Structure 1
C-alpha cells in the first residue's frame, strides 16, 4: 500500500495512534503531543503550543523542541501539520476521532435528525481521551468531552425510547451510567426504559441500587421526582 495515497487518521480516544489506512505509524513522544494538541484545539500559535507542551523550560528551548518535533513529523509519508506564519494547524485532510465524536454529540444535543442512531451510539461509546496522559491541557479537554458525551447520551436515550427502540435506549443509558455512576439523569433513563417495557421489578431494583450508591458515596437521596416516578408505577 502506498501510504501517501491514504487519508491519515489520528486516534485520540482510548489511545494515541496515527495511521494511514490499516498501517500504524510510529510517532515520537513530542510529535504525539503536538498532533494531539492540534487535534483538540484545531489551530494555535507557535508560542502557545510550545509554552503548553514544554512549560518547564525557557521559551527558547520550548520553541527549539517544537521545531524539532515539527521537522520529524514532516519526514513522514504525508503532511500532518500546516504551518502558516506563526500559526500551526492540523492538516485539513487528517481525520480525527475526537472531531467525529464532537460532531455526533453536538448534533444529538441540538436535536438534529440522526441518520443512524445505532451508529451514533457506537460513536459515543469510545474510550476516554488519551488515558494515562496527565498534562493539565489534556485533563481539561478530557472533562469537556466527558460532559459533552454524557449530554449526548441522555439525548440519544430519550430519542430512542420515544421511537420504541428500547434495547438501544438502554445501551445508551447504561453507557452514561458507566461514565458517571452518580448521574441521576442516566439512571432515570435506565428506569424509564424498564418501565416502558413493563419490567417494573427491574426498574425498582435499579432505582434501589442507585439510592444505596448515592447514600454511600454522597449521603443524599435521589430526587423526589425520581422517587415519585418509580412509586407511581409500582402502585399503578
Structure 2
C-alpha cells in the first residue's frame, strides 16, 4: 500500500495532549496536526525532528494535517500513525506477502470475539487444511540499538489481547500476534520487559500455550533514507523472547 496523498515535510515543535502536534512548515508557517497515536511514542519525537504529514481538504475535519512519519535518527524513519499498521497487515496478508498466513480465502477486520469483549484485527478463514487464524496486529516503533521493543508504555489492553488469543488456541484455532515493524532501524523484535514486565511474562505464557508470534518490517525509506511513499510489509524480522 502507498500513501494516498503527497507527503508534506516539516519540523516537529512539540507533541501535546496526546493527539496534537505543532509543526513548522518549510515556509515558516506553524500548524497543528493530528497525532494518530495514543502511546507514549518513546523515541519518536526528537526535538526539531523532520516529520512528514498528509493533508486533507475535508471541511468537516477540525485539523487538516495528519502526522505520519518522523526521522528518529539520521536516515532512520518511523511511522507513528498506528492506524496504518492494520491496513499494512491486511494488504500484505491478502497479497500473500506473509508466508505464514497464506492460503486463506477470507480476511475480515474488527470481528467481535472473546469473553473480554475484544475485536480481532484480522480473522482469516477458508483455508483448505488449516484452522481459522485470529490475528492481533501491533505497531512497533520503539528501537534501541537495532532492537525493536513492544510495548512503549504499560498496556493492560495488550495483555487482554494475549489472554483472548490463548483462549482461541484452546478452542482449536490458530492465534497469531503480528508485529508490524514501522521503524527502519529495527533488526529484531522483543517484549519490552523494562517497560511492561507483565506483558513480557504474559507473552511468553501465550507462546507456551501455542500463540504464534510473527514480525514483518515495513518499507518506509528509500536508499537515501527519505520517505519511499510505500507502507508495504517487505520482510520478516526475527522475534526474540528470551528474558
TM category (shorter chain) comes to 0.3 to 0.5
Which is richer in strand? 2
Q: Which has the larger radius of gyration?
A: 1
TM-score scaled by length of structure 1: 0.34
